[in-house]
Structures are given as structure tokens and as C-alpha cells.
């Protein structure tokens, strides 16, 4: 595992400023752990504000600095600047060097996913992931199948945003498709790495320092970095650098009061009571990570409020709710309730799971979400079909047009889940037809994934000859049954 003082690699002022953002959030956690009603607790200054690393990164919890009872323990699990070869914790170990500045980074990548798998984590209740994202060459957000970059944690998507190095708008720092922002919004560097547009050799790169803190208490974590919708890597690519993962062990306080998180039109409003001004600052900062300029009012009184873990849970709840509209979550005592509307049964199931995970050990109860399936969308998706010649699982040009239409529907509804159902006629054995139906479904799924669909939203299934659409009285009937159709799961 590569470890080093990476803050000296890139322009010092930008990197120290980014480091202070993470240090500031950790300082808030320290304040929460040790504060009394007067909140007169000061965090020790970090040496890295002077440009040096304050501690040697370690993946061994036993090596972490121990603090007194009631104080948090922070462990730097990984610090990688890729000046040394990546360790086996990375699923891809490809390293490149920037044309300008000779900066080593993990990449370049196209429509690929690289996983960071860390195990044997010591006791902790929260994780911070921080890294530099390099957006290289002619990213332009795109239309229909936009240029998107994603961050996932243990299968949950934290970031799904578009980026632009030209005049087109991008969603970041918001998730797609919740907002449009000016190109390169939030970048800490522009045109500093030496990459160019293929068309005219003008500069085309940007660097974003990204940090996310979220609840996590498992002994292993899977961090996924990926992109979709990109053209050839020679035209659009990305990479990451200066990756740091920090585990936070926090003290527990008994919950006492309530918080309410309300999402309406993708804007978050939070009301309730917290234990201190430091608690309130933590809520505001963690919500800002998810919502940025779309964050609505945060009206939090200081009094007898919820514990730090629940406050971190507020941002995770907000992240879970972000794709939904008209949903309210009330966190009270040792449970939470959710009310509102979602568009599919699968969304209701997914939201219930994510709320439970967001609140850690606490039980989520009283999930009362009405399902409002949009008939027009259902009819569009389930009206599409692809038919095949006898014994074939190959697509032709007409089939691809059908799948392009489906890609557009998937892009229009960012949380839509589609099942790809493969079928055959009755010619041949049951086993051979089952294999053929699976091959047909797999061919369609592979095409969708290769053209930007998210693998978590497209699931293939083969039914063989068991579900004919029509009775086979002719060759035309058999042709009708040799098909792939699409279903939106309803429960």
C-alpha cells in the first residue's frame, strides 16, 4: 500500500486548503465528542497547515493514536499518491504521468470502474474518503448519454455527476440530473496537467478535490470509482490521485430529541434540536456535501439534541433521499419514520434499505411510502421488444435502435430499474432454450452497459420456453416468442 506525504506534490496553497476542509470536519467531530453546554473546547492545531503531514498514515488500527476516554480516535487507513506502485487493494493498478508537472496518478480510465477494497478495519462509526479527481480532455456533459463520473460506497452511489471542460454546463457539485452549474464548478485547478482537446490542442483538464464523510461501522469497505457515457479514452478520460481514507471512532450519547429531514423538489430542509453549535455545524457541512446550492433552510435549535452518530446519519439520510421527491424522514428517540411518495415499488424497497443503513445500529420503522408508478413511463419501457432469428442471440441495426430508445428512458429517470427478460420459441430442448434465453438477455444487457447504462439498474433473466407470448401455430407465432422484453419490477 503506497503511503507518503502527498501534500507536497501539487500547488501547496490549494492542497493545504483542501486538507484543512477535512481537518475542519474532524475538528467538529472532536468538538462534539468533548464539548459541554458551554462548548469551550479547542482542537489542537494540525501541523499540516504548515505544509507537513501531521501523522504517518497507517492501515493498522493498533498503530492509531489513542485519545482519552470520551475523545474520538481517528485512523488514517490509506494514503496513496501513486509515486509508488499501487497495492493489491486496488482492482486496477494502471498508473499514468501528467504531461505537465510529471504527477503520477491512478488512470487513465474510460468507461471503467476501479475498486478500492479495504479490510480488517478497526472499530469505527464513520469514514472520510478524500481524493483528487482528474477530468481529462473533452468532457462536455453531453446530451442523451451524458459524460458522468461516479463514486460508490459498498454498493450505494454517493456521487453521480456530469463534468465539463468546455462551455457546456455540468451538474457537479450536484448529482445529475438535479441541477446545471457552470463548467468546471468547484475545480481547484484548471488546465494545469497538460492535456488538450483532440480537435484544436487547446488546454482541457480540471482537478477537483472531493471529500465525503458518512456513517460506516463494518470491518471492510468497497469504494468504487467509475465513469459512463465517455467516448474513446484518447478523447475523454479520468484518473484519481492523493487518495486518503480515514476511519473515525466516535463516542456515543443517548438520543433524546428529534430531527426532521424533508426533501421536496430535490431541496433539503432540516429542522429540530441538536446538542451544541458544533453539532449544528456538522449537520450543515454534511448536508452541503450532498446538496450544495440546493440546500434549503436548516433550522436547528441548540438544546438536548441527538448524538453525533445520528447527526452524521442526517447527511446519509439526505443522500438516500436525494433522488426522491416529496419524502419526509423524522428521526426520534431510537427509530425513524418515512412518509411521502416514490415512483416504483423498487424505489420504496431501496429507500427503506438505505435509511436503515444510514442510521447505523438504529432501527428504521414506520416507512409509509405511497408508490406512484408513472403509467406513461411503464408503457414506454414495457412496450419495447427485441426479436431474434431461430437459434440466435445476435443484435441487428433495428434492435440497436430499440436499445438506444431504452437508454434514453433510463437516462430520463435516474432511478429506473429495468429487468431484461429473454425468451425462446418451443423448438429444441428445455435446457438448450434456457441457455439461449439467457444468452439473449445477456447480449442486450452487455449492449446497454457498453453504452452507459448502470449495471445496478439493468438486470438480465432467461425464461427459456416457459413463458410464450402467443400459442405457436405458425412460424410467425414462433418468431413472436423469440424475444427480449423489458419489465419494471413492481415489488
Summarize pLDDT for 278-331 with one digit per residue, the tens.
777 777 776 776 666 656 667 777 777 666 666 666 666 666 665 555 677 776
When pLDDT is cut at 50, 70 and 90, the band that residue 39 belongs to is very low
Q: Is 206 left (phi over 0), alpha (psi -120 to 50) or beta?
A: beta
Q: What is the CA radius of gyration of the chain?
A: 25
Average pLDDT of the residues of the chain? 75
Higher-scoring residue by pLDDT: 194, 280: 194
Sequential DSSP letters for 258-325? EEEEEEETTEEEEEEEESSHHHHHHHHHHHHHHHGGGEEEEEEEESS---HHHHHHHHHHHHHHTT-S
Least reliable range by pLDDT among 31-40, 46-55, 77-86: 46-55
Q: Which of 175-179, 233-237, 370-374 has the largest mean confidence?
A: 233-237
Q: Report whether pLDDT(167) > 60.
A: yes
* Predicted pLDDT of residue 379: 74
* Predicted pLDDT of residue 29: 37
* Strand-pair partners of 79: 244
Higher-scoring residue by pLDDT: 329, 471: 471
Stretch 7-29: mean pLDDT:
34
Least reliable range by pLDDT among 74-78, 381-385, 389-393, 419-423: 381-385
* Predicted pLDDT of residue 10: 31
Provide the residue ranges of all domains of the chain, joining segments of one domain with +.
Answer: 6-249, 258-371, 375-487
* Predicted pLDDT of residue 420: 93
* Predicted pLDDT of residue 75: 92
Least reliable range by pLDDT among 108-112, 244-248, 281-285: 281-285
What does the alpha-carbon distance between residue 127 and residue 245 come to, in Å, rounded to a whole number? 7
* Predicted pLDDT of residue 216: 81
Domain 258-371 has CATH 3.40.1520.20: yes
Stretch 213-234: mean pLDDT:
88
Stretch 232-236: mean pLDDT:
91
- CB of 135 within 8 A of CB of 163? yes
Stretch 249-255: mean pLDDT:
58
Which CATH entry fits the domain spanning 375-487: 3.30.930.10, 3.30.1330.60, 1.10.1740.10, 3.40.190.10?
Answer: 3.30.1330.60
Length of the chain: 491
Q: Is 291 left (phi over 0), alpha (psi -120 to 50) or beta?
A: alpha
| Helices 397-412/375-382 angle, 10° precision | 160
Stretch 451-455: mean pLDDT:
89
347-357 pLDDT, tens digit each: 666 666 666 66
Stretch 164-179: mean pLDDT:
80
Q: Report whether pLDDT(65) > 70.
A: no
* Predicted pLDDT of residue 447: 94
pTM over 0.75: no
DSSP state of 371: E
In 3-state terms, what secondary structure has residue 211?
A: strand
Least reliable range by pLDDT among 67-81, 237-251, 297-311: 297-311
Amino acid at each position: 500500500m503506497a503511503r507518503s506525504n502527498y501534500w507536497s506534490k501539487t500547488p501547496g496553497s490549494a492542497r493545504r486548503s483542501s486538507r484543512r476542509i477535512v481537518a475542519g470536519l474532524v475538528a467538529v467531530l472532536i468538538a462534539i465528542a468533548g464539548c459541554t453546554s458551554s462548548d469551550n473546547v479547542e482542537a489542537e492545531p494540525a501541523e499540516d497547515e504548515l505544509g507537513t503531514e501531521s501523522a504517518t498514515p497507517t492501515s493498522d488500527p493498533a498503530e492509531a493514536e489513542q485519545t482519552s476516554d470520551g475523545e474520538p480516535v481517528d485512523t488514517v487507513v490509506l494514503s496513496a499518491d501513486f509515486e509508488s506502485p499501487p497495492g493489491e487493494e486496488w482492482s486496477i493498478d494502471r498508473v499514468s504521468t501528467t504531461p505537465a508537472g510529471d504527477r503520477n496518478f491512478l488512470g487513465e480510465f474510460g468507461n471503467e470502474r476501479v475498486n478500492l477494497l479495504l479490510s480488517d478495519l478497526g472499530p469505527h462509526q464513520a469514514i472520510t474518503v478524500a481524493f483528487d479527481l482528474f477530468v481529462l480532455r473533452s468532457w462536455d456533459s453531453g446530451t442523451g448519454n451524458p459524460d458522468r463520473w461516479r463514486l460508490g460506497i459498498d454498493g450505494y452511489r454517493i456521487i453521480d455527476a456530469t463534468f465539463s471542460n468546455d462551455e457546456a454546463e455540468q451538474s457537479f457539485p450536484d448529482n445529475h440530473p438535479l441541477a446545471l452549474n457552470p463548467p468546471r464548478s468547484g475545480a481547484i485547478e484548471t488546465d494545469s496537467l497538460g492535456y488538450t482537446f483532440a480537435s484544436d490542442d487547446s488546454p482541457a483538464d480540471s482537478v477537483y478535490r472531493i471529500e465525503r464523510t458518512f456513517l460506516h461501522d463494518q470491518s471492510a469497505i468497497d469504494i468504487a470509482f467509475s465513469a459512463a457515457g465517455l467516448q474513446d479514452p484518447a478523447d475523454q478520460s479520468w484518473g484519481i490521485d492523493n487518495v486518503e481514507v480515514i476511519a473515525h471512532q466516535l463516542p456515543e450519547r443517548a438520543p433524546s430529541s428529534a430531527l426532521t429531514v424533508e426533501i421536496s423538489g430535490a431541496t433539503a430542509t432540516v429542522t429540530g434540536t441538536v446538542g451544541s453549535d458544533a453539532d449544528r455545524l456538522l449537520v450543515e457541512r454534511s448536508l452541503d456535501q450532498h446538496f450544495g446550492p440546493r440546500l434549503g433552510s436548516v433550522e436547528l435549535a441548540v438544546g438536548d439534541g441527538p448524538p453525533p452518530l445520528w447527526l452524521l446519519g442526517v447527511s446519509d439520510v439526505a443522500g438516500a433521499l436525494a433522488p426522491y421527491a416529496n419524502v419526509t424522514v423524522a428521526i426520534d428517540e431510537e427509530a425513524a419514520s418515512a412518509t411521502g411518495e416514490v415512483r416504483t415499488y423498487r424505489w420504496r424497497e431501496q429507500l427503506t434499505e438505505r435509511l436503515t443503513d444510514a442510521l447505523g445500529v438504529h432501527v428504521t420503522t414506520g416507512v409509509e411510502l405511497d408508490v406512484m408508478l408513472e403509467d406513461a413511463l411503464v408503457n414506454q419501457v414495457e412496450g419495447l421488444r427485441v426479436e431474434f432469428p431461430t437459434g440466435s442471440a445476435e443484435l441487428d441495426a433495428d434492435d440497436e435502435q430499440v436499445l438506444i430508445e431504452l437508454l434514453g428512458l433510463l437516462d430520463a429517470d435516474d432511478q429506473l430499474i429495468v429487468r431484461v427478460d429473454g425468451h425462446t420459441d418451443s423448438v429444441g430442448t428445455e435446457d438448450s432454450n434456457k441457455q439461449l434465453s439467457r444468452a439473449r438477455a445477456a447480449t442486450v444487457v452487455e449492449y446497454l452497459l457498453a453504452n452507459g447504462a448502470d449495471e445496478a439498474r439493468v438486470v438480465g433473466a432467461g425464461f427459456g420456453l416457459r413463458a410464450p407470448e402467443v400459442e405457436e401455430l405458425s412460424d410467425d407465432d414462433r418468431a413472436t416468442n423469440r424475444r427480449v422484453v423489458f419489465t419494471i419490477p413492481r415489488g
